[in-house]
Structure 1
Amino acid sequence: MKKQPLNTFRTSYRLQLHKDFRFQDAKDVVAYLARLGVSHLYLSPIMESMPGSNHGYDGTDPEKISLERGGEAEFIKLIKEVRSSDLEGLILDIVPNHLACNLKNPYWYDVLKNGKASKYWNTFDLKTTDPQKDPIILPVLGKSRLEVLNDGDIKVIKQGQEWQLMVYESLYPLNKAAQNILDAKRPSAKVLKQILESQYYCLEDWRQGSRKINYRRFFDINDLIGIRMEDPKVFSWFHKKTFELMNKHPEIQGLRIDHVDGLTFPRQYLSRLHRKTPHIWVEKILGEKESLPHYWSVLGSTGYEFSNVAARLFVYVPGLLYLDSHYLKNIEDRWHRFHDCVYDSKRQVLQSHFSSELKFITALFYEQVPRLLKKRFTDRHLSQVISEVTAALRVYRTYAQKKEPLQYHWLTEAIAEAEGKHTGDRHAFKWFRQVLEKKGDWPEGLFLAIKRWEQLSGPVMAKGLEDTALYRYCPLLSLNGVGGEPDWLGDAVTEYNSFQRLKHRQFPLSMNTSSTHDTKRSEDVLSRVHVLSELSEQWAHLYEEIVADKSLSKGLERRSIYFIAETVLGAWPMDGKITKDYVKRIQAYAIKASREAKLETSWLEVNTAYENRVKNFIEQILTPNSLEQRELFKKMKKFASVISFYGAFNSLGFLVLKTTSLGVADFYQGCEMWDLSLVDPDNRRPVDYDVRKEALERIQKEFKRSPSRLLIRVTKDWRSGEIKLLMTWRLLQMRNRFANVFLHGEYIPVPVRGKYQQQFVSYLRRYKDQWFWVVLPRFLTRVDHSEEAVRLDVDFFADTKFTLPAHAPRKWENILTKTSYDRETNKLDKMFAGGPVAVLRSL
């Protein structure tokens, strides 16, 4: 594949493809995205996946383009549309870690039928080496195998010349031995039992089978099986179609790699992939102060770390301290530190969701224990040690190399913390610590055990932190993003400036994302919830009023109420109208969040009574019946209106950070206007592109006539979302015209002085003689700001001064109004020109 100039990768726009939004639908928005200023269309997985999949991460055939999404012919038409437009190209999302272990997957079907004789046996990451003695566990039954047999839900039928096993409504293959038996004997209960016991797979109750499962899963999902990407033959087979498309269509210019941490050897995989395409981004959730490995052959990450560091700029720390104190005082919580919550959550999921993996990995390690030491501790002791170290690890995984020491300070800290908590056998702990601290060059068996442990620590972190702890600990939900730190405290401006300098040195083309298909709440919901840190006492008082109404709160944990109320306020409809659809969305989200928290209810053990109380609570606060509840609703509605207004400033500031900071500005479908989505599947609802096309056309026409009048209109009518669309369009125009400034230019923090200096974030971007100057307001609830329009009320900030370098330009132009500004006048009304932010270009 031909290497592209790196400044072509300016802006990516993510589209989620599925049966209701196909390649043809994507083709229909290409012209709009080109007019908006997007450089690259960024597609969710395009290969065959499970029928009805709304994401494509459950692939069934990497050799075929999804028919449900339109098939190869329609995909080629989409490429041609991109070619004829002003877009630079496409970025494809691929999933090298796993495939669906479903009968729709022909390769998996072949393995089940033929066992080790299958040509695809080595494709899948199976823990069994002899499926006749140790068959593949399939946890697909709703009851025990005997009960299902007695109920008549397992039978054999003949399809053409071949016998198959019908389980419920699914057809499973039967091996050659079973075919011969059935050809010779009439099916009976005895014959059926004999056939079941002779297969290369074993059907199990899903509740029990999950504890016995003998293949590597994607996280804890039984229906997704890991593939052995470290095998060169598997690598070639899996990527064959993708490489064929890239070679044939130069418009496909980059790849996004899903869940790179699931691979046994990420470094080697990325190096091999880089030889085919140099433009790679990896989905990688980084821990606090963790960076991508410098030796990875990638342009960068998909940007979760940017989202978290940028979001914290809008969190008012004094208010956050108040909320932390209020939360811990009023919530009956066993955790006073978020890390303790994470540790306990990880220990819990290790036992409930990953017991089979823990058992397998413990066995691998225990095989390497010297014979004399086995007299001092058992595999059970070692399992406890592995659990404790895994739970204490604050990053997803380490990256052991065969002849290199594991030099990770997170690992050292995890071992120290685990040792402090450890109450079991000290000999087991000492041996495991020595293994991990060994200076490289492990024996082959020990090295394999470490690599398998690394593949477990990631899923445990994902399920323990992302899918459990972040739903349990919620003083301020806007800090609970993917890879977030709910207990964060610090100087966000200093942190952001340091982040930009580090990014410039390491991976300057990492994506800047604010919303994705995986984020727990959209950038606009996030931006509203930030405001609770500014209005912390008012929010705390409102929460206490909700709790005080026993007709509402009876039978609910206070934590649940806190979480739901924050969500309701953050996602409150822009027009203020509560519809049945909104109520149902909040209810569905709250049930998912409650199950993820795994306290009062869970996916494994559903507590229907508690979930009904959650639904009733939401219905009562949003559609009140009693006089008291109606009064409370009025207060919530008024408060929601306030945080919606100030949240709009935060959202627009977030947009400016994303598009003017180092990196590829990444947009999620529809987020160029207001989007109040929650976690999937809520964030995969249809986007109204007709509204966006019409609005962009209107904005572009009005801008030609009078940029200033247009800005007055859209800031006054800010709820329409056209202010966000206008700013997106203008910022992307600047990115396209001055790509080198934003992709390669210096990042220079600008000191702010004055009474309200904390209310601003400012920096310069410079490349040669071209400069951009950014000034973002924040914490505007701290002044008596007008709430009539989303424009900065500059009268409050008359004494505010910005200290630019002496050699910085004197003359500037506001990109929203095209009006000029002289830095020596220091007139903020000229700087902001009636807008919510100031982005100035040097003249």
Structure 2
Amino acid sequence: MTYPRATLRLQLNHTFTFDDALAQLDYFAALGVSHLYTSPVTTAQPGSMHGYDTVDYGTVSAELGGEAGLRRLAAAVHERGMGLVIDVVPNHMGVGGSHNAWWLDILEWGRHSACARHFDVDWHSPDPALRGKVLMPFLGAQYGEELASGRIELKFDARDGRFVVAYGPHVCPVCPTDYAALLQSANRADLDALAAHFQGLTTQPDDQPRAAAARDALRAFVKRNGTDAIDSLLEGYAGADPVPRERLHRLLERQHYRLAWWRTATDEVNWRRFFDISALAGVRVERHDVFEAVHKLVFRLYADGVIDGLRIDHIDGLADPREYCERLRQRLVPLRATLPYVVVEKILARGEALRADWPVQGTTGYDFMNDVGALLHDPAGAAPLGDTWAAISGSDASFAQVALEARREILAAYLAAELDHAARALHRIAREQTATRDYTYASVHRVVAQLAMHCPVYRIYPANGLRGPIDNRYFSVALDAARAALPRANRAVLDQVDAWLGARSPDTAAQAGDAAAAAANPNPQPQPQRTQTAAQSASQNTAHNAAIKASAKGAGNGGPQNAPLSHALIAQRTALALFSQLTAPLAAKANEDTALYRYGRLLSRNEVGADPDDFARSVEDFHAANAERQKHAPYALLATATHDHKRGEDVRARLAVLSELPADWSAALRAWSTLNLPHRRNDRAGSTDWAPGPAAEAMLYQTLVGCWPPDLDPGDEAGVRALAERIAQWQLKALREAKLRTNWLSPDEAYESDCQAFLFDILAPQHRDGFLHELAGFVARIAPAGALNALLQTTLRLTSPGVPDLYQGTELWDFSLVDPDNRRPVDYAARAAAIDDEPPSAKLAHWRDGRVKFATLRRLFALRARAPELLREGAYVPLEVRGEGAAHVIAFARRHRDSCAVIVGTRLAAAWLEGDVPLVAPQRWGDTAIVLPEGLAAPQWHDWLSDTTTTASEGNRLLVRDVLAALPVAVLSNLAPGRAGTQP
């Protein structure tokens, strides 16, 4: 297969399996996509609805249909000339429960487990209670309470001949070194004889085969004699009597894990998690053996031609993303004759670009989602909407300020253990050098916290322990902010931490010089090398490359095993990896999962990959971003909806209209708040604690406006109720994610209940003539402009440089909210029924049913099939627009050899619309025209969206009143379809 020309993202789970996808394959082919692009297919926790909690990398999920089902789907896909891209999750696995064999092995054998280095476990915790142990923070209440209640139980697994400690669905193996004492505790001759098999066992790897043989004997005994004897043994560790409970406690104390209340994880977890989720443990894929184990199935499926490309999940969680991508590419290339297609899930900050030295095709498309989303917003609306939000919320803080405060809170309340790990790694370096041995842990901790809080990007990507010029550009922002925030007494520590975090190499001679300087100067003030040139960085990196690449086996948190690396370099790389693996989840947790739920100027800019302070982008900005994409990442995905979006693509498109009507929106907010004042809870005179509160109420109104279905009548009680139930689900998540008056760790259920009651009250049937009428009327007023934005967004996604990605179900209007709302089952029958040969323009009058969007997608997929290179990688040419309506038009051309297309769209046109149709009247455009450059001409231009033809006027200009007469968007080409609306 060649690289995709268009992908369709499918969320697989036990309710939508490989065979379910296979049943819809004719429909997917009729849409015109070239590749299916699925969520993870490896075995996940039972019942997983997303697949990101992998428990076995080596098998295809049986719940999805197993490898046979995957191969069946792939064969049918390939028969239709299509391809298959799968999601790979190398950063973390699902733990807890009883299904992850790697995790269970380290619980059983501790640091001597064959899998002990598969996960980022700190086996040398400074806490004596965790030294050599794994924290298991899965108890629903405090350990003593759960132990006394009998919910922690010693059990015997007859199938495996294994003693385990069970707590609900969680299973923790007992180390075989304890089996002899366990069996002897029953005072039975038969069990004493079995105990002899386990006598003298140690946890050393050489003893583990003997333990397996001893378990075989135990299993055979039970098979012959039943479990009566074992059951009698277990009674000695159960019951309400304190004696057996104390016996169980002493047994637990000897294990390689510590059972703990789930709340302890924030402060004490001694292994890397995915964000703050204790059910997902970080995997050390930087190690060669772990890398191979994680990808063994993927490589086999790719070599066999089952899959054609990979999407790498959460690339920023890895110790060294660059090295990972290089290794992945090196392993994939020899397996197939064609180059592998690999994209990475990477959130780019404002002004940040994907690193050019990563051998991948690009990102999964959040950067494009941000670019096109910002284009839909009127910059003139930023200030008045900001004033309205400040008046409602009582704060004029920018999003950056809100996010900074969120980072401070997240570090303290959610990622304290992760911060501790990074600080301790740096403090260990300090203790090993005479010049810095007196730097205290507390001072290093303060420095690391400030640097992490102020890092302007998700993370930096040092090479071989050294920051390059791009890293320094971002790190210097954090460094300056930390220097301003820290006490003067900590600045020397800050400068030294800067050096350890990649400002300079830990060269042995340099260390010796530092030590000598320290001896001569009792108060050293090391100065960081803040501004490396590219040449300096390359020179320093070269000094380590031979050693680092001498072996492909990973060791430590950031380096190869058995390579001749100095201890200092390993320590520095470890500290750098831990720091980067702190800043990435901190940014995501604080920005995406906290600040975006607190800041509400306009929720259409509160999206993954977006910066709400970056309110709007000009046409020129959009052209510049597309030109960069065409030059550097022509095969990157282009997304406007994903399984992780906060709001559906058409919700955002509609809310963007409010940027054009800020005064009207402000008036509506005031009127609705007054109208619904009687429904507030706990609204006492002078109180500020009423529910839901002014900020949450305002965000609720935005959400209602954004996702109100176009065809929903306020008198439709069942329809309004269904909407209310969806919004209630969003509201609960939004309130807890904001972490202001309730949160996931300690929910205020009374407040949450009051907020839900407020929601259901204002949407109650008896208010159909009050608030519901006002709400529906406002939505009806802005919905045409929202639909216009949505059609523009769709057209730009399918015609910009890159590979457009279609998220499942968004062929029709997408008014979904954050997950799980955006992962609801898709009605494919309704979508299949929408297929016909009519042009999108014929469906504009009935735009509310979404078929105009559906037809637009199909027509442009057809154009991409007709000329794949034209829209995927053809030259990108911004076009000049002149005349009275120029500010309301975006136009560009795509050109590849003899094929060309001109894309024209309407923007910021809310004030120009008349009536109920999302179309500017042709006469309104006046003399507005698109100037075609020399060399871009055709006798006639065929519009793939209206089946009309246009001829350029004198001066090689296209009059907008002609081009956009039938639809608010047009895609003109010198290529005409063989048959309108069909695939060639």
Normalising by structure 1, report the TM-score. 0.94
2:845 is aligned with what amino acid?
K
d(CA) in 2 for partners of 1:694, 1:276? 44
d(CA) in 1 for partners of 2:66, 2:799? 37
Which deviates the most, 466-475 or 420-429? Answer: 420-429
Check whether the contact 1:819–1:833 (CA below 8 A) recurs between aligned residues: no
| 1:155 equivalenced with 2:153 (yes/no) | yes
| 1:592 equivalenced with 2:733 (yes/no) | yes
Q: Using the TM superposition, give the Cα deviation of residue 23 of structure 1 relative to its aligned residue in structure 2, in angstroms.
A: 0.5
Give the 3-state SS of the residue equivalent to 2:901 in structure 1.
Answer: strand
1:365 counterpart residue number:
426
| 1:835 equivalenced with 2:967 (yes/no) | yes
| 1:310 equivalenced with 2:451 (yes/no) | no
1:263 is aligned with what amino acid?
L
Tell me which of 412, 425, 437 is aligned to 1:351.
Answer: 412
**Which contiguous aligned blocks of 4+ residues in structure 1 show a shift greater than 6 angstroms?**
none
1:172 counterpart residue number:
172
d(CA) in 2 for partners of 1:565, 1:190? 56
Check whether the contact 1:264–1:451 (CA below 8 A) recurs between aligned residues: yes
Check whether the contact 1:112–1:201 (CA below 8 A) recurs between aligned residues: yes
2:94 counterpart residue number:
100
1:525 counterpart residue number:
651
In the TM superposition, 1:232-243 aligns within 5 A as 232-243=288-299
1:566 counterpart residue number:
702
Give the 3-state SS of the residue equivalent to 1:368 in structure 2.
Answer: helix
Give the 3-state SS of the residue equivalent to 1:691 in structure 2.
Answer: helix
Check whether the contact 2:904–2:971 (CA below 8 A) recurs between aligned residues: yes
Tell me which of 404, 408, 420 is aligned to 2:484.
Answer: 420
Which deviates the most, 371-380 or 767-776? Answer: 371-380
Taking structure 1 as reference, are residues 534 and 552 closer, same or farther at Cα in structure 2, changes over 3 Å only?
farther
2:343 counterpart residue number:
281
Check whether the contact 1:164–1:173 (CA below 8 A) recurs between aligned residues: yes
Tell me which of 49, 64, 84 is aligned to 2:59.
Answer: 64
1:609 counterpart residue number:
750
1:566 is aligned with what amino acid?
Q
2:21 is aligned with what amino acid?
A
Q: Using the TM superposition, give the Cα deviation of residue 734 of structure 1 relative to its aligned residue in structure 2, in angstroms.
A: 0.5
Give the 3-state SS of the residue equivalent to 1:252 in structure 2.
Answer: coil
In the TM superposition, 1:246-285 aligns within 5 A as 246-248=302-304, 250-277=305-332, 278-285=340-347
Q: Using the TM superposition, give the Cα deviation of residue 647 of structure 1 relative to its aligned residue in structure 2, in angstroms.
A: 0.8
Supply the RMSD in Å over aligned alpha carbons: 1.9
d(CA) in 1 for partners of 2:278, 2:398? 32
d(CA) in 2 for partners of 1:788, 1:427? 65
| 1:337 equivalenced with 2:398 (yes/no) | yes
Taking structure 1 as reference, are residues 711 and 337 closer, same or farther at Cα in structure 2, changes over 3 Å only?
closer
1:429 is aligned with what amino acid?
L
Taking structure 1 as reference, are residues 372 and 274 closer, same or farther at Cα in structure 2, changes over 3 Å only?
closer
| 1:110 equivalenced with 2:116 (yes/no) | no
In the TM superposition, 1:745-784 aligns within 5 A as 745-783=874-912
Q: Using the TM superposition, give the Cα deviation of residue 132 of structure 1 relative to its aligned residue in structure 2, in angstroms.
A: 8.3
Deviations 1:65-117 (A, max 9, x none): 11111112211111121122242x10010000011112211221122112233
d(CA) in 1 for partners of 2:182, 2:280? 31
Q: Using the TM superposition, give the Cα deviation of residue 765 of structure 1 relative to its aligned residue in structure 2, in angstroms.
A: 0.7
2:726 is aligned with what amino acid?
R
| 1:535 equivalenced with 2:661 (yes/no) | yes
Check whether the contact 2:374–2:616 (CA below 8 A) recurs between aligned residues: no
1:366 is aligned with what amino acid?
H
Q: Using the TM superposition, give the Cα deviation of residue 492 of structure 1 relative to its aligned residue in structure 2, in angstroms.
A: 2.0
Deviations 1:495-536 (A, max 9, x none): 111111211222121111000001111111110110111121
| 1:410 equivalenced with 2:538 (yes/no) | no
Tell me which of 126, 138, 142 is aligned to 1:140.
Answer: 138
1:189 counterpart residue number:
245
In the TM superposition, 1:702-721 aligns within 5 A as 703=838, 707=839, 711-712=841-842, 714-721=843-850
1:599 is aligned with what amino acid?
L
d(CA) in 2 for partners of 1:264, 1:113? 26
Query: Percent identity of the aligned residues?
Result: 32
| 1:662 equivalenced with 2:798 (yes/no) | no
Normalising by structure 2, report the TM-score. 0.81
Q: Using the TM superposition, give the Cα deviation of residue 425 of structure 1 relative to its aligned residue in structure 2, in angstroms.
A: 2.7
2:94 is aligned with what amino acid?
A
Check whether the contact 2:784–2:916 (CA below 8 A) recurs between aligned residues: no
Structure number with greater Rg is 2
d(CA) in 1 for partners of 2:111, 2:490? 40
Check whether the contact 1:320–1:533 (CA below 8 A) recurs between aligned residues: yes
Which deviates the most, 719-728 or 790-799? Answer: 790-799
Check whether the contact 2:378–2:616 (CA below 8 A) recurs between aligned residues: no
Deviations 1:592-641 (A, max 9, x none): 01111111111011011221221122112222646xx8423211111112
d(CA) in 1 for partners of 2:449, 2:968? 50
d(CA) in 2 for partners of 1:159, 1:60? 20
Check whether the contact 2:344–2:364 (CA below 8 A) recurs between aligned residues: yes
Q: Using the TM superposition, give the Cα deviation of residue 550 of structure 1 relative to its aligned residue in structure 2, in angstroms.
A: 2.3
| 1:380 equivalenced with 2:375 (yes/no) | no
Which deviates the most, 818-827 or 452-461? Answer: 818-827
1:252 is aligned with what amino acid?
I
1:809 counterpart residue number:
937
Which deviates the most, 205-214 or 788-797? Answer: 788-797
d(CA) in 2 for partners of 1:729, 1:170? 48
Tell me which of 779, 790, 793 is aligned to 1:651.
Answer: 790
Q: Using the TM superposition, give the Cα deviation of residue 818 of structure 1 relative to its aligned residue in structure 2, in angstroms.
A: 2.4
Q: Using the TM superposition, give the Cα deviation of residue 182 of structure 1 relative to its aligned residue in structure 2, in angstroms.
A: 1.8
Q: Using the TM superposition, give the Cα deviation of residue 809 of structure 1 relative to its aligned residue in structure 2, in angstroms.
A: 0.8
Give the 3-state SS of the residue equivalent to 2:331 in structure 1.
Answer: coil
Check whether the contact 1:400–1:451 (CA below 8 A) recurs between aligned residues: no
Paired residues in the alignment total 822
2:453 counterpart residue number:
391
Check whether the contact 2:648–2:816 (CA below 8 A) recurs between aligned residues: yes
Deviations 1:717-767 (A, max 9, x none): 111111111110100010111111112211111111222211111111111
Unmatched 5+ stretches in structure 1: none
2:504 counterpart residue number:
439
2:780 counterpart residue number:
641
Q: Using the TM superposition, give the Cα deviation of residue 792 of structure 1 relative to its aligned residue in structure 2, in angstroms.
A: 3.6
| 1:13 equivalenced with 2:8 (yes/no) | yes
d(CA) in 1 for partners of 2:496, 2:437? 13
Which deviates the most, 176-185 or 287-296? Answer: 176-185
Which deviates the most, 829-838 or 743-752? Answer: 829-838
2:863 counterpart residue number:
734
Deviations 1:678-703 (A, max 9, x none): 1111111010001111111xx22xx3
Check whether the contact 2:38–2:86 (CA below 8 A) recurs between aligned residues: yes
Taking structure 1 as reference, are residues 17 and 429 closer, same or farther at Cα in structure 2, changes over 3 Å only?
same
Q: Using the TM superposition, give the Cα deviation of residue 336 of structure 1 relative to its aligned residue in structure 2, in angstroms.
A: 1.5
| 1:291 equivalenced with 2:353 (yes/no) | yes
Give the 3-state SS of the residue equivalent to 2:51 in structure 1.
Answer: coil
In the TM superposition, 1:469-484 aligns within 5 A as 469-484=595-610
Q: Using the TM superposition, give the Cα deviation of residue 361 of structure 1 relative to its aligned residue in structure 2, in angstroms.
A: 1.4
Tell me which of 202, 207, 215 is aligned to 2:271.
Answer: 215
Check whether the contact 2:461–2:467 (CA below 8 A) recurs between aligned residues: no
d(CA) in 2 for partners of 1:324, 1:751? 32
d(CA) in 1 for partners of 2:754, 2:131? 48
d(CA) in 1 for partners of 2:168, 2:761? 40
Check whether the contact 2:922–2:965 (CA below 8 A) recurs between aligned residues: no
Give the 3-state SS of the residue equivalent to 1:680 in structure 2.
Answer: coil
1:790 counterpart residue number:
918
d(CA) in 1 for partners of 2:882, 2:602? 29
Q: Using the TM superposition, give the Cα deviation of residue 190 of structure 1 relative to its aligned residue in structure 2, in angstroms.
A: 2.8
1:640 is aligned with what amino acid?
V
